[in-house]
């Protein structure tokens, strides 16, 4: 799906344009620069995040253009020279772009998107690169936490009505599906992405009829083959479940179907689901599923299951679609190098906060796997022209505490970034969403259980190669003298 039903080229921070004009006036229009997108911290203090949004990034870059009305709008700002506006009129994206594929577990400080190209272009796309990847990676990460808490029970994304706008609902549903949700309440997501649209009734349906029984009967007659009834409008155990059982017997079974389920949306879900399970089993409906909703998240779901709740699937809304517990994925986009006289000149950003010091140069990310277990044990960021010889032992070390070293053997290494654009032309075919979802599950399976913990997960190391570390140290020494 192409999300760009309108031209989003001007959905950018204004300083991207003022800098572009300045670059143009200073003769930098064709200066080649390298930018990295990376993030500094996993949301919710988790052990890893999930890459998402690459397909929409491809859409954006394929449709990047300045229309006549864009040029006229910028002209009226009186902030740009006429020659620069003509440059924008003739604008054609020509950058190289690399990215880590969607569904891949990702970790802080490693480049997840790298852009190489004319500085005006590479700088200009910063806002949308961050907007697209930050949002979908945030929601995919949150969804996967919730899915893992459900321990194999289906999780449905129910948050459209509380998402931050239409794009938030649509792209959030997409990201949630990558993270492991089985479907969404957002109908448009099925039309655009083939994500199963799911749902039955609201409390208003039950309230519209004279009695709860009549409401259930009418619904069962319309949908006998997939009859799930909302049982908590009035009293879950005294009326809701008994009425559901009655209607299942009188309307669903005679039509040759089995009841699909009941949904509980309020109250003590642990207690109510247990009693409802007993009632359904005693009535001869052990196959009738119990769905729970009502402001759920991974911690509530985990506690419910630890306490023995008899829930078969979960509908999760606002706390998923908004990533309510930590609603910001702090991805950043930093200049890493420029080209001068045919060679790459590394650039570094310094800060009094050590964690904000960037890694210079044109880089590649490798994931190291143990050959016997197939488990990933570290990522290594190298310069782009380095290779890792898996036939020999390889020393990894903590770039902040360099005395912490480990010599690894019996491993294999995989490059994580893949080419997305070459000289402005897309060279990447986005996989189908089901394939991305399956790949995500497969890749999470390569992580150790200790990394998957919700609280105090084991730190997964992202190390620097020796040449990259030496380059960084040299730049730090140079800037310390200035």
Containing H/E element for 394? Answer: strand 394-397
Q: What is the pLDDT of residues 187-246, one digit of tens each?
A: 999 999 999 999 999 999 999 999 999 999 999 999 999 999 999 999 999 999 999 999
Burial-class residue 119 by CB neighbours within 10 Å (0-12, 13-18, 19+): buried
Sorted by where each begins, the domain ranges of the chain are 14-139+327-481, 200-284+301-306
Q: What percent of the chain has pLDDT over 70?
A: 98
Is the pLDDT at 1 greater than 60, yes or no?
A: no
Return the closest-CA partner of residue 420 out of 99, 2, 131: 99
Residues 406 and 395: their CA atoms lie apart, in Å, by 6
Check if the beta carbon of residue 460 is closer than 8 Å to that of residue 451.
Answer: yes
Answer whether 14-139+327-481 and 200-284+301-306 agree in fold.
Answer: no
Per-residue tokens: 37: 């997108």
CA-CA-CA-CA dihedral for 399, 405, 409, 412, to nearest 10: -10
Is the pLDDT at 263 greater than 80, yes or no?
A: yes
Overall fold of domain 14-139+327-481: nicotinate phosphoribosyltransferase (3.20.140)
* CA distance readout (Å), 392 to 122, 379, 409, 412: 38, 17, 7, 10
Q: What percent of the chain has pLDDT over 90?
A: 94
| Mean pLDDT, residues 306-327 taken together | 97
Predicted local distance difference test score (pLDDT) of residue 323: 97
| Mean pLDDT, residues 51-56 taken together | 98
User: What's the predicted TM-score (pTM) here?
Assistant: 0.96
Helix (H, G, I), strand (E, B) or coil at 125: coil
Predicted local distance difference test score (pLDDT) of residue 4: 42
Q: What is the pLDDT of residues 295-307, one digit of tens each?
A: 999 999 999 999 9
Across the chain, mean pLDDT equals: 96
Helix (H, G, I), strand (E, B) or coil at 149: helix
Is the pLDDT at 378 greater than 60, yes or no?
A: yes
Residues 6 or more apart in contact with residue 12 via CB below 8 angstroms: 124, 125, 126, 127, 128
Predicted local distance difference test score (pLDDT) of residue 482: 59
Predicted local distance difference test score (pLDDT) of residue 477: 92
| Mean pLDDT, residues 397-409 taken together | 91
Q: What is the pLDDT of residues 347-365, one digit of tens each?
A: 999 988 888 999 999 999 9
The CATH superfamily holding the domain 200-284+301-306 is: Aldolase class I (3.20.20.70)
| Mean pLDDT, residues 320-331 taken together | 96
């Amino acid at each position: 799906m192409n999300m760009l039903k309108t031209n989003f080229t001007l959905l950018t921070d204004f300083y991207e344009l003022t800098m572009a004009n300045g670059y143009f006036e200073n003769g930098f229009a064709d200066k080649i620069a390298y930018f990295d997108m990376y993030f500094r911290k996993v949301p919710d203090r988790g052990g890893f995040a999930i890459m998402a949004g690459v397909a929409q990034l491809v859409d954006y870059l394929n449709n990047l253009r300045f229309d006549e009305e864009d040029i006229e709008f910028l002209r009226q700002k009186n902030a740009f020279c006429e020659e620069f506006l003509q440059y924008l009129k003739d604008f054609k994206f020509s950058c190289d772009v690399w990215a880590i594929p969607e569904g891949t577990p990702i970790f802080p400080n490693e480049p997840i998107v790298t852009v190489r190209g004319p500085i005006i272009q590479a700088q200009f796309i910063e806002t949308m690169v961050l907007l697209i990847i930050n949002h979908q990676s945030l929601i995919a990460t949150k969804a996967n936490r919730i899915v893992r808490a459900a321990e194999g029970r289906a999780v449905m994304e129910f948050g459209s009505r509380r998402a931050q706008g239409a794009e938030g609902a649509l792209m959030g549903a997409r990201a949630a599906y990558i993270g492991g949700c089985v479907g969404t309440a957002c109908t448009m997501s099925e039309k655009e992405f083939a994500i199963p649209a799911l749902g039955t009734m609201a409390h208003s349906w039950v309230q519209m009829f004279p009695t709860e029984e009549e409401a259930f009967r009418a619904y069962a007659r319309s949908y006998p083959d997939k009859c799930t009834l909302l049982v908590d409008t009035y009293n879950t155990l005294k009326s809701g479940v008994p009425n559901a059982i009655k209607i299942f017997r009188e309307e669903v079974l005679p039509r040759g179907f089995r009841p699909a389920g009941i949904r509980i949306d309020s109250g003590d879900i642990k207690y109510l689901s247990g009693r409802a399970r007993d009632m359904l089993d005693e009535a001869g409906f052990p196959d009738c599923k119990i769905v729970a909703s009502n402001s759920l998240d991974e911690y509530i779901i985990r506690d419910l299951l630890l306490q023995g709740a008899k829930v078969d699937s979960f509908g999760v809304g606002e706390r998923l679609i908004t990533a309510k517990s930590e609603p910001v994925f702090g991805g950043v986009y930093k200049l890493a190098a420029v080209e001068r006289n045919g060679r790459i000149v590394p650039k570094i950003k310094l800060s009094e906060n050590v964690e904000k010091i960037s890694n210079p140069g044109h880089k590649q990310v490798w994931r190291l796997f143990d050959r016997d277990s197939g488990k990933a044990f570290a990522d290594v960021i190298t310069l782009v022209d380095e290779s890792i010889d898996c036939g020999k032992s390889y020393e990894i070390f903590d770039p902040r505490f360099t005395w912490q070293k480990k010599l690894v053997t019996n491993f294999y290494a995989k490059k994580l970034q893949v080419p997305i654009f070459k000289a402005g032309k897309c060279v990447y075919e986005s996989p189908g969403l089901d394939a991305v979802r399956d790949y995500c599950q497969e890749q999470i399976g390569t992580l150790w259980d200790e990394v998957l913990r919700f609280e105090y997960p084991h730190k997964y190391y992202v190390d620097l190669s020796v040449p990259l570390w030496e380059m960084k140290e040299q730049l730090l020494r140079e800037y310390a003298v200035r």
